[in-house]
């Protein structure tokens, strides 16, 4: 009985930006707990490669490449999944990007790109999926926030702004949609070894700072995000709504 709270058998999960990095780790983790997963990204070849890898591991997976920054493409993609694969039980809004520059020199086009990729996509996909979920009276939406939803570092102020927006959009989604039987929460990763962070991982000075700044004393491994995702995707979190779960080795708990 206890394990049924984390059993995702028969549930369909769409993970945006899931052809690599945190997204692929989350999709793999959900699949390991029984979910059928839909892999998404803009690069169809990478999406197909991720699907094939999941299938070789014995999981059920489908490919659905579309651009999460295009609202019409998002709606068409999610409506297509609903019509051709099945009802989406779990949406993980993972797609994101980073760009670093001094704030006074930050390019306007990169500001716009960060807004579209990191926050507008969460609105587009969340709204498109919720329109189906509301009619069924159930659904899980997991948004990927960040320690930068709460903190800031030099050269990433626009990224911090977008992740702060993800935090509060999560709260807003829960406020509007909890009455329809949906649970909308966020996972806020700390510093994890991903392609997005590879330049920082390879920087001895930054890694030394990170190990000192993080109570756990190390980088996170993407697999360590799976438990939080499974919890928020399953019945164990049936009365958890509008929350941000930090998976950061204690970074946001310490000064």
Catalytic hit among 33, 124, 159, 191: 159
Q: How many whole angstroms from its chain centre is CA 254?
A: 24
pLDDT of 196 reads 77
**Digit-coded pLDDT (tens) for 70-125:** 999 999 999 999 999 999 999 999 999 999 999 999 999 999 999 999 999 999 99
Q: Does residue 17 surpass a pLDDT of 80?
A: yes
pLDDT, residue 197, reads 86
Tell me if residue 33 is catalytic.
Answer: no
CA dihedral 147, 153, 158, 163 (to 10 degrees): 0
pLDDT of res. 2 = 59
Kindly provide the b/e burial profile for residues 57-68, where b requires at least 16 CB atoms within 10 angstroms of the residue's own CB. eebebbbbbbbb
Q: Give per-residue pLDDT as tens, 218-252.
A: 999 999 999 999 999 999 999 999 999 999 999 99
Residue 253 backbone zone (phi > 0: left; psi -120 to 50: alpha; other: beta): alpha
Q: Which domains does the chain have, with CATH numbers?
A: 2-247 (3.40.50.720)
pLDDT value at 1 more than 60: no
Q: Tell me the percentage of the chain whose pLDDT exceeds 70.
A: 99
Instruction: Please write the tens of the pLDDT for every residue from 185-230.
Output: 999 999 999 887 888 999 999 999 999 999 999 999 999 999 999 9
Say what the pLDDT of residue 195 is.
Answer: 81
């Amino acid at each position: 009985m206890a394990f049924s709270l984390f059993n995702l058998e028969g549930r369909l999960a769409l993970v945006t930006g899931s052809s690599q990095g945190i997204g692929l780790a989350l999709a793999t983790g959900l699949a390991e707990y029984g979910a059928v997963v839909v892999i998404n990204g803009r690069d169809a070849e990478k999406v197909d490669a991720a699907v094939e890898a999941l299938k070789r591991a014995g999981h059920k997976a489908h490919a659905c490449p579309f651009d999460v920054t295009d609202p019409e493409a998002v709606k068409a993609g999610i409506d297509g999944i609903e019509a051709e694969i099945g009802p989406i039980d779990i949406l993980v809004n993972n797609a994101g990007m980073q760009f670093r520059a001094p704030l006074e020199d930050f390019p306007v086009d990169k500001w716009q790109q960060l807004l579209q990729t990191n926050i507008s996509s969460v609105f587009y996909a969340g709204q498109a999926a919720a329109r189906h979920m509301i009619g069924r009276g159930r659904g899980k939406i997991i948004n990927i926030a960040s320690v930068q939803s709460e903190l800031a570092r030099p050269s990433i102020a626009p990224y911090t702004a977008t992740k702060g927006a993800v935090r509060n959009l999560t709260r807003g989604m829960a406020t509007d949609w909890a009455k329809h039987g949906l649970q909308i929460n966020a996972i806020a990763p700390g510093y994890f070894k991903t392609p997005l962070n590879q330049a920082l991982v390879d920087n001895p000075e930054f890694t030394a700072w990170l190990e000192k700044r993080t109570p756990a004393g190390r980088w996170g491994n993407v697999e360590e995000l799976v438990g939080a995702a499974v919890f928020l995707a399953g019945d164990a979190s049936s009365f958890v709504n509008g929350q941000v779960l930090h998976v950061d080795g204690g970074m946001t708990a310490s000064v």
